[in-house]
Structure 1
Amino acid sequence: MESPLALYRRYRPESFAEVIGQDHVTEPLRAALANNRVNHAYLFSGPRGCGKTTSARILARALNCERAPVADPCGECESCRDLARGGPGSIDVIEIDAASHGGVDDARDLREKAFFAPVKSRYKVYIIDEAHMVTTQGFNALLKLVEEPPPHLRFIFATTEPDKVLPTIRSRTHHYPFRLIPPRLLSSYLSELCDKEGVSLDPAALPLVVRAGGGSARDTLSVLDQLLGGAGSAGVTYELATGLLGYTPDTLLDDVVDAFAAGDGAAVFGVVDRVIETGQDPRRFTEDLLRRLRDLVIVAAVPDAPATGLIDVSEDQGERLVAQAARFGPAELSRAADIVASGLTEMRGATAPRLLLELLCARVLLPGADHATDGVLARLDRLEKRLTISGGAPTPTSAPPAPPAQDRPVAPAHRPDAPDPAAARPEPVAPPVAEPAPEPVPEPVSEPESGTTAEPAPAPEPVVEAPPEPAPTPAPAPAASGSLSLVDVRRLWPDIVDATKLRRRLAWMHLTQNCQVVAVDGTTLTLGFANSGARDSFVSAGCDDVLRQAAIDVVGAEWKIETIVDPGAQAEGTPAVTRSAVAEPAAAPPAPEPPPQQAPQQPPAEPAEPGGPSASAAAREAIQQTRSADHQPEPSGPDWASADADAHPDDLDADHQGMSATELLQRELGAQMIEEIRHQ
C-alpha cells in the first residue's frame, strides 16, 4: 500500500476560490480572467509557502481552459485535468526553477523554444519560480522576449525577493504581492483539514501548530502532517505538540509568572531548574516567557483582549491571563518584558544560557536594584498595589481628621456629619445605644468629662437609623492609622489567597471554600468558618501561619490570625446606630445624652457599680485628665469634637497609656453608664 502524499500536496488548491488569505490577489485575477483582460507577464511575490506557485498554476489552468475566458477553471476539460492536483502536467505549461536554471545559456534556450506555438492548448505558459535567482545576464537575455512576446506566450514570475528582480523586467509585469496568512484564518482551515482526515486536534495545541508555521500555509501543513503522523488514538494532544515542537508548556509559564507576581525567588529559580532538568532550551523558554509577558501587557491595557480575539488563546488560558495581569502593575509588566527581551538578545551565541536566564530572572525580581525610571515605576506599582487603599479612612466628612485648635468651639456642629462606623464599632454596649428614642435634640447641661461646660449644638439631622442588633461576632478594635480597613482587606483578599496557593494548597483550599473575612484591625485578622470541623482543620494543619506569611508578602501587614465559627458572619459586624449616639461614645460617656424617657428601660443583667453617677463622673474625669496631660496642643478645655478626635482608634495618646481608648472606656464606663441611666 502506497503512503499518501504530503498534506500540503493532497490539499493544494485547484481554484482561486480555494486559496485562503490572499483575497487581495485572487479577486483581481478572477476579474481579469472573466473580462479577458489578462496581461502577458505577471510577477507574484511574497513569503514562502503563501500560494505563489499554486496561484500561478491556477492561472495557467484558467488561461487554457476550454471555457475561457472564465474566472475559475472548469476542471473537466483535458487541460484542466492535466494541470489538476496529482495530474500528469501539460506540455504547454513549463515550470522552471531559476535557482538551477538562471544563467544566460538557460535564458537563451528558453528564448529559442518560446517562439514555437503550443502543442494542444491556447497559450504556452512559462512559470519561473525563484525568479530573483536569475542572473543579470539571464534577465537581459529575456528582456526583449518579456517586453514583446508572441501572442501565444505568457510569463509568470514567482519570487520571495522582488527587489532582486531586474527593474526593467519588473516594470513589464503586473505585480501581485502575496502575504502571510492570518493566524485565525489558518486555525479554522487546520480544523477543517483535521475533520476531513478524521483526527481530533486539541484546541490548546492548535495555536502551537499555527505559531510553528509562521503564517505559511505550506509550513503549517507540514507541521500538522508531522503531528498527525505521530498522533495516537487520542489524536493530536497538547502534550504531543509541545514535545515535538519544543515549546514551553503553559504550566511552567504560569508557575514562573505567578512567582514573579508574588516575588517568590525560590519558585522562580525552581522553574529555571525544571527547564534545565527536562532538557528544554533556555533560549526557547525565554522566548516563550517574553511572548507570555507580551500577552499580559496587552491584557493589562485591554482586559477583554482574549474574548475579542486580540490575543489568540483558548478560553481557559484567556481567563488565566486576565487573572495574572491583574496581579501586576503596568510599569512592572513593561519593565519585566524589557528585561526578558534584552536577555533574549544576549543569549544568542552565549555559552552559558542558563546563567543568563537566572540573571535576568533576578533582575525581574529585584526592581529595587534598578535605579532607572523603569525600576522606580515598578517599585511604585508594588507600593500602590499594597497601599492603593486609603488606609481605612472614614467616609469624607466636613470635619478634617485633625482640626485646628481654633475650630474646636464650633465642632459640635460637625459631630453629626461624621458618622464613622469604624469609630462606633469599638463601643459594643448595645442595650443603651439601641434606644430608638433619641429623636429630640440632646440636652446636655454640662459635660463632666472636661473642665468646660461647652454644650453641643443641636444636631441638624438627628436621624435615627436602623435599630442595632446585638452582633454575635466580636467587634474588633479599629485599625491603626495607615492600616487596612475591612473593605480594603476584602479587595486584596484574592491576592492574599493566591499567595497561599504558592506555599500550601491545603491552606488555599480552606480559604476559598470554607471561610470569609469577618473583621480586621491593626494587629488581628478574624476569619469566620462555616463549621467547627473546617476551623479545627485549618488551625491544626498550621494554615494560619501560611496565611500570616502570605499577608506579609502581599500587603505588608503582620496580622495575628484568629478563627471563629460563624456561618452568618457579615462584613459589618456592628449595625448602625443613631448619629447623636455614635458620636458621643467615641471619646466620652454618653451619660447626659439619653432623654429622661429612657429611664424605664431595664438593662439586661448588668451589675450595678457602687457609687452611682458620682463614680461614673469620677471615672470620666480621670480619663480626661490623662488625655489632657498627654495631648500637648490643647491649652484650652476641649469640646466634644476634639474629644471625638482624641478617642479615635488611631489616637497615639491612648496607646501611650498602655491600652486603647476602647479598652479604657469599656473598663471604666461600660457599667457606670447603664447605672447612671437607671438612676435617672
Structure 2
Amino acid sequence: MSYQVFARKYRPRTFNDVLGQDHVVRTLRNAIAQKRLAHAYLFVGPRGTGKTSTARILAKALNCTGGPNADFDPDEDVCVEIAEGRSLDVLEIDGASNNGVEQVRDLRESVRFAPARGQFKIFYIDEVHMLSNAAFNALLKTLEEPPPHVKFIFATTEANKILPTILSRCQRFDLRPIPTETIAKHLLHIAQEEGVQLDEAAAWAVAKGADGGMRDAQSMLDQLVSFCGNSINEGNVLDVFGFTSREKVANLTQTLLARDNPAALALIQKEAESGRELSQLLGELIGCLRALLVAKLDPSADGEGIPAHLWSALLQAADDYAPDRILAAIDVFAETEGRMKWATNKRLHFELGVIKAIQSLGEVRIADVIKVLTKGADFIPTGPISSPSAVVTSPAATPAPAPAAVQPAVAAPAPEPAPVQEAVPAVVETPSPATPAPEPEPKPAPVAVTEPAPLPDPEPEREQVIAAAPEPEPAPIPEPAPEVTKPKAAYGGLASFASMIEDAPEVSELPPAPEPPPWKDEKPAVVEKAPEPVAPAPSIIEDAFYNDPLIQAALLKFEGKVVA
C-alpha cells in the first residue's frame, strides 16, 4: 500500500473524532436522534477545520446500515465507500470546476433518481461560493423543495459570496479555528502512534504556526518527520519553518516594556539575519501584549500558553503600565502589521513600529501627573495667578455709562489729575505725529477755547495709569502683578510724552505718506459698519485725547508749523 500522509491517515471517521467543533457535532447528533433532518446544510469555516470531514461523517450517519444513526460503524462497507468516494449515493462535486448552469442542470436531472443503496441521495458541493449567479439561480427551486430522498451539503470558506437566497434555504454551521492546545495534544497523539519522539514545546510551536488548522499542523508534522527522523525538538521546528521561540518573543516584549530601543532593534536584527519570518514574530508579539492587557483587566487570566516562568517575568515588567498604555502599543503594532502585508522591506516597518510603540509607552497623561503630584496631599494648593488676559479688559467689554466706575477705582490717591485721565491710553492706539497733520481744518481754535472737562475712564486699569503719570520715568508702580496693564508698560507718563512732542521732526522732514481719511468722517462709519461692541469705545478715548490740555497745546504747535 502506498504511503498516506498524516492529514489523510488521521482524518476523522466518526463524530467522536472531530476536534474543536463541539457545537456542530452536538447539533448534528441531536438532529439525527430527534429525526429533525434538514434538506440542506452549509458548513462555513477557514481551511483545515473539518468541513469536508464533517460532511462525510454526516453522510455516513444518514446512509449507514439501520440509519440514520449518529453512532455508526465506520468500518462497514457503506461507510468505507463514502470515505473513499466510491458511493453511488453520495456525490462529491467541486464547485470551482463545475460552476456553470449546465452542471447544475445535470445535477437537477440526477436528483429525480432514487438512491441505489442507502436511504438518501446526498449531494456534497465543496467551495460552493465558486458557482456563478446563474448556477445559483438554477439551483434555487430544487434546493427549496427537493425530493424527500435528497440531501444537500455545501462547504465554503467565503460565505459572503453566496447569494442570500441560497443561505436562507440552508442550515448554517460555522466551524471555528481549532484551539492551539487541542492541536498540540492531537499532534502528540499522532507522534505516539507513529513512534516519533515529539517534544511538547515542538508540538506547541507547530500548533501555533498552524493558525487553527488541523490539516496544516498534520502536514507540518509530516514534514518534520522527514527532516528530523524519529526525534523532533523545538529547535528543529524553528529552523524548518522560521518560527520564533516563546523565549525570544518574551524577551522582545520585556525590552519594549523597559523602553530599551537599542536592545529591541538588536533582537529584530538578529531574527531577521537568522531568516525568521518577521510577520509571524510580530503576530506573536501582539499576542503577548494582548495577554498582558487581559491580565491587567482580569487578574485571574492565565498566560494563554506562555510558560509560567516567562509569564511571571512579563507581569513584573508590565506592572508599572496602565492598561491604556499597553493598548496604545497594541494599536501601533496592529497598524504596523497592516503595512507589513504589502511592504517589500518588512524589517523597516517592524523597526519603525517598535520605536513608535516605545514612544507611546513613555507618554504620560496630564491626569496621571496631577494624580502623582496630589497623591497624599489634603488639598490642591491654589493661589492667584497673574494673567494679563484676566486683568486687561478690552474697551468693548466696558459699558458706555462708566462715570460710576471711576470713583471706586482711584478716588483717594489722586483726585486732582482727573482732566488728564485719558491722555496715556489714547497714545496707544493713535500715533501723535500722523494723526493731526493731515487735518486741514482749524480745529485747534475751538479746542483751546473750551475748558477741558474731566472725562472718567470706564476701565479700572486706566485709573492706575493716572497714578503713575506724574512719575518722570516708566518704572512699574509697586502694585500686585494682576493689576499691571499693558499701557503702563508702553508709556512712562505725560512728561516723556511732552518731550517726544518737542523733539518731533518738522513736517518737511517727514517722508511722504498716503493721506488717511479725515477723522470725523471715519468715526461714524466705523461705528455703523462694525457689528462688534468694540466700536463705541475708541470715540470716547479720542475725545478725551483731544480734550486734554497738553494735547491741545501740541496740536496748536504742530498746526502752526504746518501753516508756516
TM-score (norm 2): 0.59
CA distance in 2, matches of 1:203, 1:234: 12
Residue of structure 2 aligned with 1:189, choices 173, 186, 191? 186
Residue 143 of structure 2: aligned partner = 146
* Letter of the 2:207 counterpart: V
Matched, 1:173 2:174: no
Stretches of structure 2 that go unaligned for 5 or more consecutive residues are 378-564
Q: Which moved further from structure 2: 8-17 or 71-80?
A: 71-80
| 1:376 partner letter | V
Is 1:15–2:14 an aligned residue pair?
yes
Aligned residue number for residue 113 of structure 2: 116
Which residue among 332, 341, 348 is the counterpart of 1:339?
332
The equivalent position to 2:263 in structure 1, one of 260, 264, 267, is 267
Closer, same or farther in 2 for the Cα pair 1:2/1:328, shift >3 Å?
same
Q: Could you tell me which residue of structure 2 aligns to residue 488 of structure 1?
A: none
**For 1:317 and 1:178, how far apart are their aligned partners in 2?**
32
- Residue 37 of structure 2 is matched in structure 1 by 38
Which range moves more in the overlay, 355-364 or 51-60? 355-364
Partner of 2:283: 287
Q: Which residue of 2 aligns with 1:324?
A: 317
How far did 1:339 drift?
3.3
Instruction: Select which of 318, 336, 354 maps to 2:347.
Output: 354
Q: In the aligned structure 2, how far is the partner of 1:169 from the partner of 1:29? A: 20
CA distance in 1, matches of 2:374, 2:86: 72
Alignment match of 1:375 (pick from 357, 363, 369): 363
Provide the rounded CA distance (Å) in 2 between the counterparts of 1:173 and 1:331: 44
Matched, 1:75 2:74: yes
Q: Report how far residue 106 of structure 1 moved.
A: 0.4
RMSD: 3.3
Rounded to whole Å, the distance in 2 between the matches of 1:221 and 1:198 is 15
- Cα gap change, 1:379/1:241 in structure 2, threshold over 3 Å: closer, same or farther? farther
* Residues 123-161 of structure 1: CA deviation (Å, up to 9, x unaligned): 221111111222222223223322333333222122223
Whichever residue aligns with residue 264 of structure 2, its letter is: V
Alpha-carbon separation, structure 2, partners of 1:302 and 1:378: 26
Match of 2:158 in 1: 161
CA distance in 1, matches of 2:211, 2:374: 42
Q: Secondary structure at the match of 2:125?
A: strand
SS of equivalent to 1:95: strand
**Candidates 68, 72, 86, aligned match of 1:89:** 86
| Pairing partner for 2:305 from 286, 306, 312 | 312
Query: Aligned-pair distance for 1:228?
Result: 3.1
Structure 1 residues 296, 232: CA separation in 2 closer, same or farther (over 3 Å shift)?
farther
The Cα shift of 1:164 comes to 3.0
Rounded Cα–Cα distance in structure 2 between residues aligned with 1:271 and 1:211:
21
Report the equivalent of 1:98: 95
Match of 1:238 among 234, 239, 247: 234
SS at match of 2:153: strand
Does structure 1 retain, via aligned residues, the 8 Å contact 2:332–2:353?
Answer: yes
Percentage of matched positions with identical amino acids: 38
CA apart distance, 1:165: 2.8
Aligned amino acid, residue 2 of structure 2 = E
CA distance in 1, matches of 2:322, 2:165: 55
Contact 1:331 1:378 in 2 (8 A): no
Question: What is the one-letter code of the residue matched to 1:269?
Answer: L
2:2 is aligned to 2
> What displacement does 1:102 show?
1.4
The offset of 1:270, in angstroms, is 2.5
Q: Is the 8 A contact 2:41 2:171 kept in 1?
A: yes
- The corresponding residue for 2:473 is none
Q: Which amino acid aligns with 1:313?
A: I
Deviation at 1:224, TM superposition (A): 2.7
- State the match for 1:276 in structure 2: 272
* Paired position in structure 2 for 1:247: 243
Code of the residue aligned with 1:294 in structure 2: it is: R
Question: Displacement, 1:108?
Answer: 0.9
Q: Secondary structure at the match of 1:296?
A: helix
Q: In the alignment, is the contact (CA less than 8 A) between 1:343 and 1:356 conserved in 2?
A: yes
Change (3 A) 1:266 1:233: same
1:133 to 130, 134, 146: 130
SS for the counterpart of 1:154 is strand
Aligned partner of residue 83 in structure 1, secondary structure: helix
When residues 88 and 239 of structure 1 are mapped into structure 2, their CA distance, relative to the original with a 3 A threshold, is same
User: Residues of 1 paired with 2:283 and 2:374: CA distance?
Assistant: 33
Determine the C-alpha separation between the residues in 2 that align with 1:256 and 1:43: 43
Q: CA deviation at 1:76?
A: 4.8
Map 1:528-547 to 2 at 5 A: none
> Is the 1:303–1:322 Cα contact (8 Å) retained in structure 2?
no
1:351–1:188 Cα change, 3 Å = closer
Kept in 1, the 8 Å contact 2:250–2:310? The answer is: no
Compared CA separation, residues 89 and 301, structure 1 to 2 (3 A): same
Separation (CA, whole Å) in 2 of partners of 1:144 and 1:365: 60
* Structure 1 residues 263 and 103: alpha-carbon distance in aligned structure 2, compared to 1, 3 A threshold: closer
Tell me, what secondary structure is at the counterpart of 1:273? helix
Q: Is the 8 A contact 2:242 2:275 kept in 1?
A: no
Equivalences for residues 427-466 of structure 1 within 5 A: none
- How far apart, CA to CA, are the structure 2 residues paired with 1:336 and 1:171? 42
Cα deviation, 1:291-314, whole Å, max 9, x if unaligned, reads 3322333344445533xxx51223
Query: Is the CA contact 2:14–2:74 (under 8 Å) kept in the aligned structure 1?
Result: no
For the residues of structure 1 that align with 2:26 and 2:259, how far apart are their CA atoms?
A: 54
Distance 1:64 1:318, change over 3 A: same
- 1:484-633 counterparts in 2 under 5 A? none
Deviations 1:292-341 (A, max 9, x none): 322333344445533xxx51223333333334333655455344333333
1:295–1:321: 8 Å Cα contact kept in structure 2?
Answer: no
What is residue 453 of structure 1 aligned with on the other side? none
- The structural deviation recorded for 1:104 is 0.5
AA at the equivalent of 1:2: S
SS at match of 1:42: strand
SS at match of 1:259: helix
Q: Following TM superposition, by how much is the alpha carbon of 1:99 offset from its aligned partner in structure 2, in angstroms?
A: 0.8
Are residues 42 and 243 of structure 1, via their aligned partners in 2, closer, same or farther at CA, if it must alter by over 3 Å? same
* Higher Rg of the two aligned structures: 2
Q: In the superposition, relative to structure 1, how do residues 105 and 303 fare at CA in structure 2: closer, same or farther (>3 Å)? A: same
TM-superposition CA deviations, 1:474-527 (whole Å, max 9, x none):
xxxxxxxxxxxxxxxxxxxxxxxxxxxxxxxxxxxxxxxxxxxxxxxxxxxxxx
The 1:286–1:153 alpha-carbon spacing in structure 2 relative to 1, beyond 3 Å, is closer
Query: Where does structure 1 lack aligned partners over 5 or more consecutive residues?
Result: 391-395, 397-680
| Number of residues of Structure 1 aligned to a counterpart in Structure 2 | 376
Give deviations 1:103-125, integer Å, cap 9, x for gaps: 00001111122222222333221
Judging changes above 3 Å, is the alpha-carbon distance between structure 1 residues 76 and 163 closer, same or farther for their aligned structure 2 residues?
Answer: same
Tell me the secondary structure at the aligned position of residue 200 of structure 2.
coil
Q: Cα–Cα, structure 1 residues 257 and 20, in superposed 2: closer, same or farther, change >3 Å?
A: closer
Please tell me the residue identity of whatever aligns with 1:204: A
Question: Which residue is 1:579 aligned to?
Answer: none
Report the Cα distance in structure 2 between the residues aligned to 1:364 and 1:36, rounded to whole angstroms: 57
